[in-house]
Structure 1
Amino acid sequence: MTMLKRLVAGTALGLIVASGAQAREMRVSSFEPPQGFYSAQILQAWIDEVNPKLSEGNAFKLYPGSMLGAPPAQAELVKAGVADVALVVPTYTPGLFPMSGVVEVPGIARTSAQGTAVLNALADEGFLAAEYADYKIIALFTTPGYRLLMKGNGASAPDDLKGLKLRTPSPFGTRLLEMMGASGVSIPAPQVYENLERGVVSGAVWVFDAYKTFRLDEVAPTVTTTRITASPMAILMNKASYEALSEDDRAVIDAMAGRGAAEWVAGVVDAADAALEQGFRDGGKVTFIDQEGEAAEAWAAALSSASELWVADQADPAAARAVLDRATAVASEATTN
């Protein structure tokens, strides 16, 4: 929490509601269960920092476990005002946030810090203005790179995936799997365990926080550490809800939003990812197939045309090319810094 507290340190804010601003509870929607990583360590942590600084009567409250709507509905819930704030996965709603999906291209977001640097640079430079025009952005960030969580002996090389069905994170994730001869199956997060247990899929392309939250180590005990893709993530707020707050309360939100908030989230995400991986390694029940040197190069070669595929898939290839070029440059800078 140290970095998060620094975001608001030194900000002197009043606690009087301005004329016309009505105090109320503001709903924060999460599709994860209350104990899920993003529910507990990101959204609730953010709420716990913001609420004490708001005017009396104004407070955010977490509504976890898809209480307000299914995972793909989160962006619309915020836009419609059903939720005041929500955790949104932009790739769950194809077409709404097309340029944010650039971080799905292999190599753009190996860590959350790297992907978060990319998304915030794109936002600051206007590349994402159209897709977030209806929202107050609290934070844009990414997952760490997705690994392969597999049943049986797992996959040591891309050819090992041929003919297999895997849980895919997105339509573009499916395209990546198809490049390696596998098929992508879209499965809601809470149902992945059951589908792995029944053999409907042989694995999942996912991250360690989901691996723990949904106990997937019990049914997919082999992890291939190549980082195939990543997902963009966003915490978005309803514009009308934000604008209805007093000037002082909007200042509280502003101090807890934007690049600083995103970098805090990325730090929490990457630290948790590393700790969870180490915990699974130390536990001895999960087999890791580490990919380095020539092994890593084989995966890179299998996915070498992914960036061109992503550009070709976009409605405006010229705009997508500009976004990809900038994202690649920022990702390179983030790797060396």
Structure 2
Amino acid sequence: MNFPLMRDGLRPRDTRRKRLFATCAISLTTLLVAPQVLAQEKVTLRVASFMPPQGFLNQAIVIPFLDRVVADSKGTLEYKWFPGGTLGRAPAEQLKLVQEGTADVAIVLPAYTPGAFDAYDVTQLPGVAGNTRAASVGAWRALEAGQIPTPDKVKVLGLVTTASNVLHMKKPLSKVADLAGQKVRAAGALQMDAMNNLGGAAVGNIRGPEIAEALSRNLLDGVLMDWIGIKEFRVDRTTSHHVDVDFGRVAIILPINAQRYASLPEAAKAAFAKHGGLAYAQTGGKAFDDAVSEYRSSYLKEKDHTAINFPASDSARIRTAFDTVVNNWVKEQPGRDKLLETFRKGAAEEK
């Protein structure tokens, strides 16, 4: 019996059928494997915050930023949020968490590492920046120029400053001279110098959570803090007299572990580039400015709260006191004059 031409013992029809089955199997395998491949490509970042879950910085700035980045990452990125010191409670530990990889990203205050990041203190100089958005942009421009250092083993995704620290007092003030002998809590050497130059008695070494008790026990007559912080630290319960004079701001950075960043998909890096850097400074700074306006207006609707500016006759005295702080800071280290120039120029972009 004669048979049609066969290959590997199969008739041509059998061969075509085998190829069809193989093609279908490959297609099915692709459909089944593709979601797994996509899932493997999505990176989950561990983001740490030592601040309470409902803290302003968390809710108004950092989480919205991360959500914008994730939305533009083309499905390559997600994050897991660890607030309230879950990965490390001490504020001074946060940078180390990122450098060692315990967290991929964290909220870090360079001021909590004294001596290592003194250049960030440019944001604390009193009376230099017009608002928080301006101060944040000025600080970012200085970091971008390399005049503010990036800590080892990290990449700084964004930088923002707190709102301006102003006076919150238990008793009313009408002029600068009324500060004489008043015990005012100040954070850091620059705030203390500025307060002392105006005739007050600056008090340091009182942690944020301890301020309310110190006020209630008459260990303090007032505090330098922003309008948002007085609510979060319950300072508003004892200080109802406010003076809007700018004693400077504190820089806050959002670093990511450098190796972790290098391993991210390109789409994730592009999303961070889009929403970080200058955009983060502008958006975060505006969030602080808007919140100050809202908080301040809300307090002043309450009958017990008042807010003033020192009279124009005190302007020269305030300017002299603040200029002394600025000039002394500049003279302490070479290059600070250039840093201050960059900061001021960057801040002026936002006028």
TM-score by length of 2: 0.81
8 Å contact 2:43–2:264 — kept in the other structure? no
2:116 matches 1:65: no
| Aligned counterpart for 2:182 among listed residues 157, 161, 164 | 164
Q: Percent identity?
A: 25
1:50 paired residue number: 69
2:122 matches 1:90: no
| Aligned counterpart for 2:237 among listed residues 218, 229, 232 | 218
Secondary structure of the equivalent of 1:60? Answer: strand
1:5 paired residue number: none
2:10 paired residue number: none
Change (3 A) 1:56 1:302: closer
1:325 paired residue number: 341
2:278 matches 1:262: no
Change (3 A) 1:70 1:106: same
Change (3 A) 1:270 1:227: same
Instruction: Determine the C-alpha separation between the residues in 1 that align with 2:81 and 2:219.
Output: 33
| One-letter amino acid matched to 2:186 | T
Secondary structure of the equivalent of 1:318? Answer: coil
8 Å contact 2:184–2:223 — kept in the other structure? yes
8 Å contact 2:69–2:268 — kept in the other structure? no
2:120 paired residue number: 100
Q: For residues 307-322 of structure 1, what are the structure 2 equivalents within 5 Å?
A: 307-313=326-332, 317-322=333-338
Q: For residues 200-239 of structure 1, what are the structure 2 equivalents within 5 Å?
A: 200-239=219-258
Q: Residue 119 of structure 1: CA displacement?
A: 1.0
Instruction: Determine the C-alpha separation between the residues in 1 that align with 2:46 and 2:311.
Output: 45
8 Å contact 1:151–1:203 — kept in the other structure? yes
Q: Residue 60 of structure 1: CA displacement?
A: 1.6
> What RMSD, in angstroms, separates the aligned Cα atoms of the two structures?
2.7
2:213 paired residue number: 194
8 Å contact 1:109–1:142 — kept in the other structure? no
| One-letter amino acid matched to 1:285 | D
Change (3 A) 1:200 1:27: farther
Change (3 A) 1:16 1:176: farther
2:155 paired residue number: 136
| Aligned counterpart for 1:121 among listed residues 141, 147, 150 | 141
| One-letter amino acid matched to 2:301 | D
**Rg larger in structure:** 2
8 Å contact 2:194–2:321 — kept in the other structure? no
Instruction: Determine the C-alpha separation between the residues in 1 that align with 2:319 and 2:83.
Output: 37
Change (3 A) 1:112 1:16: farther
Give the length in aligned residue pairs: 316
8 Å contact 2:70–2:271 — kept in the other structure? no
8 Å contact 1:30–1:39 — kept in the other structure? yes
Q: Residue 38 of structure 1: CA displacement?
A: 0.4
Secondary structure of the equivalent of 1:138? Answer: strand
Change (3 A) 1:121 1:55: closer
Q: Residue 53 of structure 1: CA displacement?
A: 4.4
Instruction: Determine the C-alpha separation between the residues in 2 that align with 1:163 and 1:72.
Output: 32
Change (3 A) 1:156 1:27: farther
Instruction: Determine the C-alpha separation between the residues in 2 that align with 1:174 and 1:328.
Output: 22
Instruction: Determine the C-alpha separation between the residues in 1 that align with 2:143 and 2:269.
Output: 20
Q: Residue 224 of structure 1: CA displacement?
A: 0.9
Secondary structure of the equivalent of 1:137? Answer: strand
